Amino acid sequence: MQSIKTIAFDADDTLWVNEPLFRINEDKFDSLLKSYIDDDKITSKLYDTELRNLKHFGYGIKGFIISMIETAIELTNGEIKGCDLKKIIDWGKEQIDHPVNIIDGIPEVLEKLKKKYELMIITKGDLFDQESKIARSGLADYFDIIEIVSEKDEDTYSSLLKKHNINSDELLMIGNSLKSDILPLVKLGAKAIHIPFHTTWVHEEVNSKDLDNSEYVTIDKVIDVLKII
């Protein structure tokens, strides 16, 4: 870690809680649809719709809500009531306005790292929603660079490194998603610390074969970052 000059953090489920809010609305959606149909695969069908819609709406709450509405219409053959569609829309608004709950240890870690390193946020999702969460989190002043991207892959990270004149071997990435935060940057030669979150979106899960020859550190709590660096 001695060569590290820049430390980048993922945002959702690394700096603050995010994924459990989706699971809450998935459960509400499942209960709502079961008043129309007898189907034990409502959530998996919603996921299929989300995956199909990524190319249209990208990541984030708005695409999630649109996918719930589309799935509801399809599974009920268009019989879902307008008042129930309104419920889905209201769930989305409530999720967007939900308080930003910072993960334990984050302010302390950022306070100490800020004294020595250049700090970044690299997050993906809806621009408006992510900007709002960053502003409301109270963490923005810790970071020198904030990047909100539509996808997190090797091409995106390569472009960011070039844009900010960062050498990959001088970058440390910290995040909860192996697929989005860790593996792409490890392949580019960066260091990485994986902090698993207790809830993970299916789309972010990886096959064990994807982990072959990938070197990164896994810790349980963000405060443990200070023991490594």
pLDDT tens readout for residues 16-38? 999 999 999 999 999 999 999 99
**In the chain, domain spans:** 6-16+100-228, 19-96
Q: What class is the 6-16+100-228 domain?
A: alpha beta
> Confidence band (pLDDT; 50, 70, 90) for 147?
very high
Question: What is the rounded average pLDDT of the residues 58-72?
Answer: 95
The pLDDT score that the predictor gives to residue 202 is 57
Q: Which of the four CATH numbers 1.20.120.1760, 3.60.15.10, 1.10.357.10, 1.10.150.240 does domain 19-96 have?
A: 1.10.150.240
Residue 201: predicted pLDDT? 55
Phi (first) and psi of residue 98, to 5 degrees: -60, 140
Q: What is the pLDDT of residues 164-184, one digit of tens each?
A: 999 999 999 999 999 999 999
Span 155-165, average pLDDT: 97
DSSP letters along 155-172, please? HHHHHHHHHTT--GGGEE
DSSP 195: -
Name the nearest CA neighbour of 171 among 179, 182, 180.
182
Ranking 36-50, 187-201, 208-222 by mean pLDDT, the lowest is 208-222
Chain-wide mean pLDDT for the chain? Answer: 93
If pLDDT is split at 50, 70 and 90, which confidence band does 61 have?
Answer: very high
Does the fold of domain 19-96 match that of domain 6-16+100-228? no
The arrangement of strands across the sheet holding 6-9 comes to 145-149, 118-124, 6-9, 171-175, 191-194, 217-218
- Nearest one of 148, 130, 149, 137 to 103, comparing CA atoms: 137
Q: Give 203's DSSP letter.
A: G
- Residue 101, pLDDT above cutoff 80: yes
